[in-house]
Amino acid sequence: MEHDHNIAPRLAVALAPWWLLRGRAAGEDALLRAAAAHAEPGSETWCDALLWRGQTAMYVPDLAGALGHFTAVRDAIAGQGPSRPLAESLCNRSIIFATLGQLVEATEEARRALAMARELGHPAVEGLALGSLAIAAMNGGDHDSALQLVGQLEQIPADVPGWMARAGSNLLVVVLIETGELAAAEQVGTAALVRSRDAGDLRILSSLLSLMADLDLRAGRAEAAAARLRESLQITMRTGTWLELVNILSCCGDLCAQTGRPAEAVTAWAAYAAFVRREGFLEGPEADRRRDAMREIREALGAAEVAAAQDRGTAMSMATAAEYVLLLTAPARPADAPDPGPAQLTARERELVTLVAQGRTDAQIAAQLSVSVRTVSSRLGRVRDKTGCRRRADLTSFALHTGLI
């Protein structure tokens, strides 16, 4: 039994990269937690279990939880001298600080990690540190430095893990877009998409798809952009790694603006902004680029309609926002296809559907309406019979289609 307890933590840590690759990391976090509990605190296995738990938390997203895991590793082994786990913990702390807009701390941590990786002669961690520095530089608006750092990352001669190479290509696409090198970004992104599909790397694939959708929009390829955004979102929903939803919502708003749906653009952008505020993320340069578009939309729609669209997006839960993107990116229906109309619901039933679409549980709905959970369940059963929507996601989609939210 003792032998099994020694093997199991190492096995979980060995499987963690594959779980992350296949989008299963969130579901397997309990195994990594158990692995850390059975490993000696401060040991390599214990550190790796926490590092992979931190990676998982970053993409849920739970940045506070992720930072806690990475900081625990740093604190446990900081007095033992340079090491691969210590350098990785610093790199990951840097990425979180950069995401939160704490750019001085992000740069300091990444520089420490880079010096440590070079002292250790560890190319993979050197690549991770260069990527962390590039993210900090890019979030600080220093795109030239970011491009130079990503170039150094691409030139590391020794083999690095495949997931790290794909992550580096993904970062290069981001930087090339921000520096206006759109043709180069498309070339790198197209090749990286092929590699990610071949490897089944869902985490990188989802990110690349939303980046390529951005490039499609800049080239006027709205239909292609919609298809890429839809696929990116479907991967995000399947894996439960919601971090990419931020970029998807932002790009979906751009798609709507380009295809003559200004109110929907405002709603998607408002959902994006609300997500960014809730998670404490550093807002990207998109807000500045959209000022002119918003001015034109206000003139076209009027202040009241713009405010209503903003309120709608701000109130959306992540699940509702995801369903909204699926609605906005759905392929066009044939011209002769019947337009689905709302079912004949009572006022109370419409209220129930709206609350479900806002992400409320049956218990939360019961408390808000001052009825029992059984009553909510019974009324939702009648709603399902009338609408044909068996799942909560279907009810959310129905609410969006019929304008209930």
Q: What is the pLDDT of residue 343?
A: 54
The confidence score (pLDDT) of residue 3 equals: 46
Task: State residue 337's pLDDT score.
Answer: 42
Distances (CA, A) of 152 to 168, 176, 196: 10, 14, 21
Kindly report each contact of residues 158-162 with a partner whose C-beta sits within 8 Å and lies 24 or more positions away, as own/partner: 158/123, 158/124, 159/123, 160/123, 160/124, 160/127, 161/17, 161/124, 162/199, 162/201
Buried b (16+ CB within 10 A) or exposed e, 23-43: bbbbebbebbeebbebbeeee
pLDDT 10s digits, 87-119 = 999 999 999 999 999 999 999 999 999 999 999
Q: Report d(CA 405, CA 316) in Å as an integer.
A: 9
Q: What pLDDT score was predicted for residue 249?
A: 96
* Encoded tokens for 140: 């600080």
Look at residue 338 in the predicted model and tell me its pLDDT: 45
Question: Distance between CA 75 and CA 40 in Å, rounded?
Answer: 15
Distance CA 95, CA 106 (A): 7
In this structure, is the dihedral angle defined by the CA atoms of residues 109, 110, 112 and 113, taken in order, positive or negative?
Answer: positive
Q: Torsions phi, psi of 395, nearest 5? A: -65, -40
Q: How far apart are CA 168 and CA 207, in angstroms?
A: 12
ω into 61 cis (within 30 of 0): yes
Rg (the chain; Cα; Å): 23
The DSSP element (H or E) to which 100 belongs, if any, is: none
Task: Please state the φ and ψ torsions of residue 304, each to the nearest 5 degrees.
Answer: -65, -45
Three-class SS of residue 256? helix
Which pLDDT belongs to residue 132? 94
Q: Are 133 and 107 in contact (CB under 8 A)?
A: yes
Between CA 211 and CA 190 the distance in angstroms is 10
Q: Are 270 and 310 in contact (CB under 8 A)?
A: yes
Listed by start position, the domains of the chain span 223-331, 347-401
Residue 330: what are its φ and ψ, rounded to 5°? -65, 145
Classified as helix, coil or strand, 27 is coil
Q: CA 309, CA 118: separation in Å to the nearest integer? A: 51
The pLDDT score that the predictor gives to residue 5 is: 58
Burial of 59 (0-12, 13-18, 19+ CB in 10 A): buried
**Topology adopted by domain 347-401:** Arc Repressor Mutant, subunit A (1.10.10)
CB 60 within 8 A of CB 242: yes
Which pair of structure tokens corresponds to residue 343?
């079912």
Q: Say if residues 326 and 233 touch (Cβ distance below 8 Å).
A: yes
Q: Collect the ranges in the chain with pLDDT lower than 50.
A: 1-3, 334-341
Output DSSP code: residue 138: H
**CB-CB contact of 254 with 221 (8 Å):** no
The reported pTM is: 0.80
**Residues in the chain, overall count:** 405
Cβ-proximal residues to 63 (8 Å cutoff; 6+ apart), any chain: 57, 96, 99, 100, 279, 280
Q: At what angle do helices 303-314 and 291-301 cross, to 10 degrees?
A: 120
